[in-house]
Structure 1
Amino acid sequence: MTFPALARTVHRHLDVDGVRVFYRESLPERADAPVLLLLHGFPSASHQFRRLIDVLGARYRLIAPDYPGFGHTEAPAGFTYSFDRLADITEGFVRKLGLTRFVMYVFDFGAPVGFRLAERHPEWIAGLVVQNGNLYEEGLSAGARDFIALRPDRSGAEDTVRDLLTLPGTRGQYETGVADPELVAPDGWTLDQHFLDLPGRKEAQVALAFDYHTNVERYPAWQEWLRTHTPPTLIAWGANDPFFPEPGARAYLRDLPGAELHVLDTGHFALEDRLPEIAPLVAGFLERVWDRGPR
């Protein structure tokens, strides 16, 4: 009996401007394997990609860092938590690894982090995999709009954010909109909550929540970036996402009419129950786009 090859994955740290960045990296069989940079979402970390790395990492080089304020990454006291700073650290991480070209997988917070990188270094981007990573006004639910409108000087705003950082709030992000919740392992939200409960982590998330409006303000610039650079793009979207509903996926086609779109009957964390559908899509996409253009 022949079994499919599973990834060998290393777990390392890199120092980037005083931040001890934790990351997972698969060790593919080929030295020249296509590279996929995996940018995680809220309130998770690189562990959300563990199964995808297991399935694809023997054939492709998959790299997944934890941002400051997330997972195993350690940021110094006084670190400023903003999306610009998350992008700064991610940019420094990419440079330290010596990456010069990769396909970028953006999910949730990974979209505003990743598109800041894309603006700064369009030459790095060989293609995009977009999974519930929103760049459009119509991709914001009413609840998401209310959340983004929160400001620190508004009465009760911080309490509203902190309510989302509880175990019921974290678990709800995994299970809402999922057709069969039994397919979603509890490990993800349990580990997320462990990290959220570490000293200083909730304060970091509150700061990022109040900074989220800066991402919406940059949507027009990022849409223009898509029209200008027209990267090959695969979109795999959980249609029942309570934050970023299906119109956000379809909106990409205005700027990237050649994008490949797959809408799935699931929620925000689509990889949790739809890995069997998404992994082959990602593998096929990497095979098609990697040899386009100079490396």
Structure 2
Amino acid sequence: MAELRMPQVHHRFAEVNGLRIFYREAGEPTAPTLLLLHGFPASSHQYARLIDALGADYHLVAPDYPGFGHSDCPDPAEFDYRFDSLADVIEGFCKALGLDRFALYAFDFGAPVGLRLAVRHPEWITGLVVQNGNAYLEGLSPAAQAMTANRPGVPGAERAVRQILTAEVTRDQYEGGTGDPSLVSPDGWTMDQHFLDLPGRKEIQVELALDYHSNLARYPEWQQWLRTHRPPALILWGVGDPFFVEAGARAYLRDLPDAELHLLDTGHFALEEKLPEIAPLVAAFLDRQPR
């Protein structure tokens, strides 16, 4: 019988700027490190199966942003829920854990958070795995364009955001665009909705959604960073994503012509259905990272 290699996965908290930030960690720090940044409305739980698949051979670290998952959720009156603020916390998190050389896995919200981090600390980034994480205007579907038009002071903006914080919409984010919904565990969207329904959590998501336009303003800066630093890159994209469309994946090749691009017949949360395809691609990418 072949040897079965499974990692020990630690579930810990780090103190960052007075906040307790929850994170999952597996593997030896001497192995190539992958920082996993989650999306909306998820948490580090979305990476649990990938950590199981790769954590025996690589060092994987997956935090929850403030206001998400098991991390602290300060009141919006006490914490400014903007993408700059999330990047501040993840920057402090990396410093607290001594993470200063790693590949970055940027998915959904993880792209604007992670690319802010990369611009601040290009010396930290050994490579970039992008999975349905947009950084180009052509990657925004009409539905995404409508959502990013919401901002403070726009009539009806808050109401439009609250309409997407329902169990039906959360489930559809996981199952929409998939080839076989039976491969999508209900645990992901059920857990996400559990956290969304906790007191005060929807207000946090409204604050962040109304700040999403700030990411579009940063696209030229991030594209310039990609052109200048040319990090090794693996682009993974579920082409059934109703928010971030295939054109956004191909756009990365303008600035990273040597990037490895894989278009997958699935939806937004591509790991749910395509983990058996994605995990070996990420492993091969990490094997090319410095130890």
Normalised-by-shorter TM-score class: over 0.9
Aligned equivalent of 1:133: 133
Q: Secondary structure at the match of 2:237?
A: strand
Aligned counterparts of 1:120 and 1:213: Cα–Cα separation in 2:
20
Determine the structure 1 residue equivalent to 2:30.
32
Shift of 1:249: 0.3
Letter in 2 for 1:121: H
Determine if the alignment matches structure 1 residue 73 to structure 2 residue 71: yes
Cα displacement string for residues 15-44 of structure 1 (whole angstroms, at most 9, x for unaligned residues): 10111100000034xx51110000000000
Q: Which moved more, 1:145-154 or 1:255-264?
A: 145-154
1:110-148 deviation digits (Å, cap 9, x = unpaired):
000000000000000000000000000100000000000
- Give the structure 2 partner of residue 211 of structure 1: 211
Q: Identify the match of residue 46 of structure 1 among 14, 37, 44.
A: 44
- Alignment-derived partner of residue 116 in structure 1: 116
Partner of 1:142: 142
The number of equivalent residue pairs is 289
Would the aligned equivalents of 1:16 and 1:93 in 2 still touch at CA under 8 Å?
Answer: yes
Instruction: Give yes or no for contact 2:32–2:289 (8 Å, CA) kept in 1.
Output: no
Aligned to 2:185: 185
Preserved CA contact (<8 Å) 1:20 1:75: no
Contact 2:83–2:211 (8 Å) recurs in 1: yes
1:243 matched to 2:243? The reply is: yes
- Deviations 1:72-120 (CA, angstroms, capped at 9, x unpaired): 0013331110000000000000000011100000000000000000000
SS in 2 for 1:21: strand
Shift of 1:199: 1.3
Residue by residue over 1:214-264, the C-alpha shift from the partner in whole angstroms, topping out at 9 and shown as x without a partner, is 000000000000000000000110011000010000000000000000000
Cα deviation digits, residues 151-182 of structure 1 (max 9, x gap): 23233221111111110010010011001111
In structure 2, distance between residues paired with 1:42 and 1:290: 30
Match of 2:9? 9
**Structure 1 Cα separation of the partners of residues 151 and 233 of structure 2:** 34
Query: Which region of structure 1 is more displaced relative to structure 2, 48-57 or 149-158?
Result: 149-158
Q: Secondary structure at the match of 1:164?
A: coil
Distance in 2 (CA, whole Å) between partners of 1:191 and 1:242 is 21
Write the distance in 2 (CA, Å) between the matches of 1:173 and 1:290: 35
* Separation in structure 2 between the aligned mates of residue 18 and residue 193 of structure 1, nearest angstrom: 26
Structure 2 unpaired stretches of 5+: none
Query: Do 1:240 and 1:266's aligned partners in 2 also have CA atoms closer than 8 Å?
Result: yes
Per the TM alignment, residue 198 of structure 1 is displaced from its structure 2 partner at its CA by 1.1
Cα deviation, residue 3, structure 1: 3.8
CA–CA distance in structure 1, aligned partners of residues 164 and 71 of structure 2: 21
Rounded to whole Å, the distance in 2 between the matches of 1:133 and 1:4 is 32
Contact 2:16 2:92 in 1 (8 A): yes
TM-score under structure 2 length normalisation: 0.98
Partner of 1:230: 230
User: What is the letter of the counterpart of residue 220 of structure 1?
Assistant: P
Preserved contact between residue 157 and residue 210 of structure 2 (Cα < 8 Å): no
SS at match of 1:218: helix
Q: Which runs of 5+ in 1 are unaligned?
A: none
RMSD of aligned residue pairs (Cα, Å): 0.9
2:266 corresponding residue in structure 1: 266
Distance (Å, rounded) in 1 between the aligned partners of 2:32 and 2:13: 22
In 1, the alpha carbon distance for the partners of 2:73 and 2:181 equals 34
1:32 and 1:20 map into 2 onto residues whose CA distance is 25
Aligned-partner SS, 2:15 = strand
Task: Label 1:221 to 1:183 Cα distance change in 2 as closer, same or farther (>3 A).
Answer: same
Secondary structure at the counterpart of residue 36 of structure 1: strand
Structure 1 segments, 4+ long, off by >3 Å, are: none
Equivalent position amino acid for 1:73 in 2? S
The answer to whether residue 254 in structure 2 is matched with residue 221 in structure 1 is no
Residue 175 of structure 2 corresponds to which residue in structure 1? Answer: 175
8 Å Cα contact 2:86-2:113 kept in structure 1: yes
